[in-house]
């Protein structure tokens, strides 16, 4: 089976024996998933794909689960600060001297790895380049920086929010989310008794905490393990109750149904536009809403969600529009 993505095509042509290696934050690629070694990823979809093949797959929050591999390959992400976090995590959790290869696309900032490694006192050599990608190699060492130092907090809407480089809107309140919050004051007022509400794509937990503070029973899901952990920390920091779990859209929810689903759904996968998760969110929403339940989502005004909402619900309303973002409201009849 041949590699599908440019970074994996570059790795495929190496003469390195990757058996037993740890693949860190890789893309979806059948060549990797059918090969050897284990995966470390914050992407629930990637982890599930590996587990379905019977392959070892771990989240960075699975404490102590990663063994000592002969080497590791870090797929450098678009978010430079997240790449630095992965590098610090590997230095803190794998033995000094472990071989580490770093691979990424030129447009994704892989060339900046040289400065990062130099700042940490780690040597580096270029192994190969092709497909507009570069492959570097170094060896891990004790750099004396705790990766947990990347966790920060900030204040918004009277709440303390946990933030991490791997989480949407890192360190600030997204303007689309702000517009949705303004509308939630009207659409989901404090209930007489707790209503089950689903926060889909929970990010740093701002929507979950806002809803929980008003007495709703919140379930928060995100495909990103950093977001799930951030939401847990946000709820704890504000003394609020709620359930946060990793899920690829509705994959972890079974037949659970809710009085409301709220979301600021993503439409990017690294640098590519990807409507897949938002499309599944909208199409499957009626199956996870109680009769009379509502879907409230905010999206950039140019995104093609009206047709999806019309098809799934038979109608919808635009209840807020500031020209950049729109808040959509749909009811399960």
Q: Which domain holds residue 268?
A: 151-331
The length of the chain in residues reads: 333
* pLDDT, tens only, 86-123: 999 999 999 999 999 999 999 999 999 999 999 999 99
Residues 49, 141 within the same domain = yes
Supply the CATH number for residue 121's domain.
Answer: 3.40.50.150
Tell me which H or E stretch contains 306: helix 306-313
Domains contained in the chain, number: 2
Better-predicted residue by pLDDT, 193 or 145: 145
Average pLDDT over residues 122-147: 96
Domain-embedded: residue 327? yes
pLDDT of residue 64: 65
pLDDT of residue 268: 45
Domain-embedded: residue 128? yes
Residues 33, 102 within the same domain = yes
Domain-embedded: residue 116? yes
Residues 70, 174 within the same domain = no
Q: At what angle do helices 225-237 and 206-213 cross, to 10 degrees?
A: 30
pLDDT of residue 270: 46
Residues 292, 207 within the same domain = yes
pLDDT of residue 271: 46
Average pLDDT over residues 215-228: 97
Residues 68, 12 within the same domain = yes
Residues 240, 264 within the same domain = yes
Q: pLDDT grade, residue 66 (50/70/90)?
A: confident
Find the DSSP H helices in 120-224. 175-187, 206-213
Sequence-distant (≥ 6) Cβ neighbours of residue 6 within 8 angstroms:
105, 131, 132, 133
Q: Which residue, 34, 8, 36, is CA-closest to 20?
A: 36
Residues 109, 190 within the same domain = no
Q: pLDDT grade, residue 194 (50/70/90)?
A: confident
Domain-embedded: residue 192? yes
Domain-embedded: residue 53? yes
How many other CB atoms are there within 10 angstroms of residue 24's CB atom? 26
pLDDT of residue 279: 93
Q: pTM of the prediction?
A: 0.94
Lookup result for tokens 């089976």: 1
Domain-embedded: residue 1? no
pLDDT of residue 200: 97
Q: Given 147, 180, 204, which residue is the final one in a domain?
A: 147
Residues 257, 170 within the same domain = yes
């Amino acid at each position: 089976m041949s590699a599908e993505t440019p970074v994996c095509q570059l790795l495929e042509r190496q003469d390195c024996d990757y058996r037993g290696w740890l693949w860190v934050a890789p893309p979806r690629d059948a060549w990797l998933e059918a090969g050897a070694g284990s995966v470390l990823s914050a992407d629930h979809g990637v982890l599930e794909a590996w587990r379905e093949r019977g392959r070892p797959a771990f989240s960075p929050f699975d404490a102590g689960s990663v063994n000592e591999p002969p080497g590791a390959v870090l797929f450098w992400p678009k978010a430079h600060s997240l790449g630095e976090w992965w590098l610090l995590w590997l230095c803190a959790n794998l033995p000094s001297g472990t071989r580490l290869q770093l691979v990424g696309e030129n447009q994704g900032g892989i060339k900046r790895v040289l400065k990062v490694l130099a700042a940490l006192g780690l040597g580096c050599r270029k192994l190969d380049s092709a497909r507009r990608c570069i492959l570097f190699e170094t060896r891990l060492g004790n750099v004396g920086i705790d990766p947990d130092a990347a966790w920060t907090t900030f204040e918004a809407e009277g709440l303390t929010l946990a933030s991490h480089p791997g989480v949407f809107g890192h360190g600030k309140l997204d303007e689309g989310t702000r517009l949705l919050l303004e509308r939630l004051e009207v659409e989901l007022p404090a209930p007489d008794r707790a209503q089950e509400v689903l926060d889909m794509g929970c990010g740093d937990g701002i929507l979950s905490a806002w809803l929980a503070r008003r007495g709703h029973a919140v379930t928060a899901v995100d495909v990103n393990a950093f977001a799930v952990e951030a939401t847990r920390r946000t709820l704890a920091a504000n003394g609020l109750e709620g359930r946060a779990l990793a899920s690829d859209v509705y994959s972890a929810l079974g037949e659970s149904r809710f009085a409301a689903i709220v979301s600021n759904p993503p439409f990017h996968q690294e640098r590519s536009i990807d409507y897949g998760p938002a499309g599944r969110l909208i199409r499957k929403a009626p199956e996870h809403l109680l009769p009379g339940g509502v879907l409230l989502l905010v999206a950039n005004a140019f995104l093609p969600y009206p047709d999806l909402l019309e098809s799934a619900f038979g109608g919808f309303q635009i209840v807020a529009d500031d020209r950049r973002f729109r808040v959509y409201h749909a009811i399960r009849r």
